[in-house]
Amino acid sequence: MNLIEKTIGKEEIFEGKIIKVSRDTVELPNGELATRELVEHPGGVAVVALDNEQNVYMVRQFRYPFQQVVLEIPAGKLDPGEEIQVCCIRELEEETGLSADRLDYLGRFMVSPGFCKEWIHIYLARNLTVGKAHLDPDEFLEVETIPLDTLIDMIMRDEIQDGKTVIGLLKAQEFIRREQ
Number of Cβ atoms within 10 Å of the Cβ of 8: 10
Q: Measured at the alpha carbon of residue 20, what is the angle toward residues 16 and 23, in degrees to the nearest 5? A: 135
Task: Give residue 175's pLDDT.
Answer: 98
Global model pTM greater than 0.85 = yes
User: Active-site residue 95, yes or no?
Assistant: no
Distance between the two ends of the chain, CA-based, in angstroms? 43
Q: Summarize pLDDT for 63-76 with one digit per residue, the tens.
A: 999 999 999 999 99
From CA 52, how far away is CA 149, in angstroms rounded? 14
Which candidate in 139, 142, 144, 174 is catalytic?
139
pLDDT in tens for each of the 180 residues of the chain?
899 999 999 999 999 999 999 999 999 999 999 999 999 999 999 999 999 999 999 999 999 999 999 999 999 999 999 999 999 999 999 999 999 999 999 999 999 999 999 999 999 999 999 998 888 888 899 999 999 999 999 999 999 999 999 999 999 999 999 998
